[in-house]
Structure 1
Amino acid sequence: MQLQQLAYFVAVADQRHFTKAAAQAGVAQPSLSQQIKALERDLGAPLFQRARGNLTLTDAGEALLPIARRILADTENARRAVLEVAVLGRGRVRLGATPSLCTGLLPSMLGAFRAEHPGIELILHESGSRDLQRELTEGALDLALVIDARLGDDDPLQIVPLVTEDLVVVSPLDGPPPVEAPEMTVADLEGRPLVMFRDGYDLRETVVDACRGAGFEATFAIEGGELDAVLQFVRAGLGIAVVPSTVGYDRFRVTPFSAPGLARTVLLARRRDLEPPRAARALGRHMLDFLARAAATNTLPPGTRLPA
């Protein structure tokens, strides 16, 4: 039994005439008749009664007709579903990103993508960069925005640099500034209580490494929080924190680092051995194009730039 045979059968059942059914199906009448006979042989029963110029369905034909219609309808629905995915009318992307990116860069990029592809479902998972890399490797994500990933030639992930963000220091707005100057250095962090992110966050590793590079160990006032918790602890006066410049800090004092400063590179990561779904590939291209257009029109957020 073939789909084309079922389509011919339904056409004959609707027209009650072989010649008219053949014209409707766009096939020669002898070919249609041969396919109907082949279908009857496969099923082991005649489907039509031919008497005195009248064409009627047999009991077997009456039983087959609703089933054939359903099969053809389901086939058309399947074709349309695949076509919609192929033209990005539908689809799903499982995207991982750090909390600071979800607050800073990501909303505008995803908003523009959603406007272009409203039928694509976006599933966002927030976590630290190291956790996101692991989940991406395990297949729990299609794409991830990670920070300064240190990958070897045999690493299962493939990365593309997206944008570089400057890091700044935030402190309570109603408290004393961390330094008297408008800018500070990494050395100025020595001995100061820092509100620190939990393990698995790139910002933690960046700050700790920078302090060690300046010859001292970072001092933690409290550690283990996510971005929102870190900011609340800073507002409560527990300490200062090093954070990305792209997050809004209206209720904080923001102090930049003097040159060469501290910065981080945001990377788009995917599995090397598995092609992402079409919708995920479209989102990746959109992010690159979005940032390129923003750079060309000088509308990148302050403190960001395209990677060299």
Structure 2
Amino acid sequence: MTVNLPQLRAFLAVVDAGGFSAAAAELGMSQSAVSHAVASLERGLTGPLLVRSSPVRTTALGEQVLPHARIAVSAARSVERIAAEAAGALTGTVRLAATPTVCQGLVPGLLRHWREDQPRITVRLFEGDSSEVSTWLEDGTADAAVLIDPPPGPGIQLATDSYQALLPRDHPLAGEPRVDIRDLEDDPFLISPNGCEVRVRTIHRLAGLRFAPTHRVRDLATLISMVQAGIGVTVLSEVSRSLIPPDLVLLPLEPRTSRRLVLTGPRDRPWHPAVRTLAESAVGHLAGAAPGGHPAPSTRSARAKVS
């Protein structure tokens, strides 16, 4: 039995992309070539790894093989990175993972900057919730991630992201310079049950309020649309500001609380040398840029601790 890296890469791409066609696009290969590579791997392992459904699912054997395939491909990439670093070639592809609000509000400006500042480095974006982002960074699916309030360690704090009240422009408090959450107690409250919920609960606790959301909405666009429709109010982070339509307002909130957005690599293995380059490049860019890429004080404190 012979197992090779192209087969493992094809298998992982199909699992991560959810299908053969999407995996082919990710790998820059034909769909038939991806199918052939996975089929060859299955023949070598004498069993099916995937259920050919939509989306594709792993079999019991596939589930057993998956973590080992990730380790093998990650190890091969590490060898390639060491060689690239020794040659001083800052090239390659970096897989960056982040949560939806960070992807939509902060990352576009960074991608634009990196494309101009580091044109030989390709950044591929993976969007997921907080737990998915951490898992992808840990298991090698991602080379880097923007983590929310991570424990101390190497990385760059991209922003201190404060929490804001999102209100319709015709709301009685929309013209105030800031809003106390106690003044919103009678408004139906909407929440997106993701990593932010813990901090929104904290805001309610600090204000002495019971946390009792009227609606739970997973999708950020749906949440914003519901506020537009007058169904209720919510709390979002400052990084979401570029996504807010003109008929809504995002106002500073009392009690004040914030989160740290940190660009970092894996904790338990060497960083891709291109990740360090991107991190250092981000420091200068964010010295005078806001989450949406416009000048603002919220990110002037961006600081590096890359090691």
Q: Is TM-score (shorter-chain normalized) higher than 0.5?
A: yes
Partner of 1:109: 110
Q: How far apart are residue 169 of structure 1 and its match?
A: 1.4
| Equivalent in 161, 166, 169 of residue 170 of structure 1 | 166
Helix, strand or coil for the counterpart of 2:145?
A: strand
Are the structure 2 counterparts of residues 245 and 177 from structure 1 closer, same or farther at C-alpha, using a change threshold of 3 Å? Answer: farther
Q: TM-score, normalised by structure 2?
A: 0.61
Partner of 1:242: 235
**CA distance in 2 between partners of 1:286 and 1:190 (Å):** 43
The amino acid of 1:241's aligned partner reads T
Deviation above 6 Å: which 4+ runs of structure 1?
A: none
| Deviation per residue, 1:169-215 (Å, 9 max, x gap) | 11223x4234674321132343432221123x2x2211111112222
Partner of 2:89: 87
Match status 1:262 vs 2:257: yes
Q: TM-score, normalised by structure 1?
A: 0.61
Match status 1:209 vs 2:185: no
Are the structure 2 counterparts of residues 274 and 115 from structure 1 closer, same or farther at C-alpha, using a change threshold of 3 Å? Answer: same
Q: How far apart are residue 262 of structure 1 and its match?
A: 3.1
Partner of 1:98: 99
Match status 1:252 vs 2:253: no
Q: How far apart are residue 287 of structure 1 and its match?
A: 1.5
Match status 1:129 vs 2:130: yes
Q: Is 1:166–1:304's contact at 8 Å kept on the other side of the alignment?
A: no
| Deviation per residue, 1:94-113 (Å, 9 max, x gap) | 10112222222221221111
Larger radius of gyration: 1
| Deviation per residue, 1:203-250 (Å, 9 max, x gap) | 221111111222222231221413222212222222112112242223
Helix, strand or coil for the counterpart of 2:209?
A: coil
Q: Identity across aligned pairs (percent)?
A: 28
Structure 1: gaps (5+ residues): 1-77
Helix, strand or coil for the counterpart of 1:209?
A: helix
Q: Is 1:194–1:241's contact at 8 Å kept on the other side of the alignment?
A: yes
Are the structure 2 counterparts of residues 304 and 187 from structure 1 closer, same or farther at C-alpha, using a change threshold of 3 Å? Answer: farther
Name the count of aligned residue pairs. Answer: 218
**CA distance in 1 between partners of 2:167 and 2:143 (Å):** 36
Helix, strand or coil for the counterpart of 2:179?
A: coil
Q: Is 1:92–1:120's contact at 8 Å kept on the other side of the alignment?
A: yes
The amino acid of 1:226's aligned partner reads D
Helix, strand or coil for the counterpart of 1:271?
A: coil
Partner of 2:77: none
The amino acid of 1:114's aligned partner reads R
Q: How far apart are residue 302 of structure 1 and its match?
A: 6.0
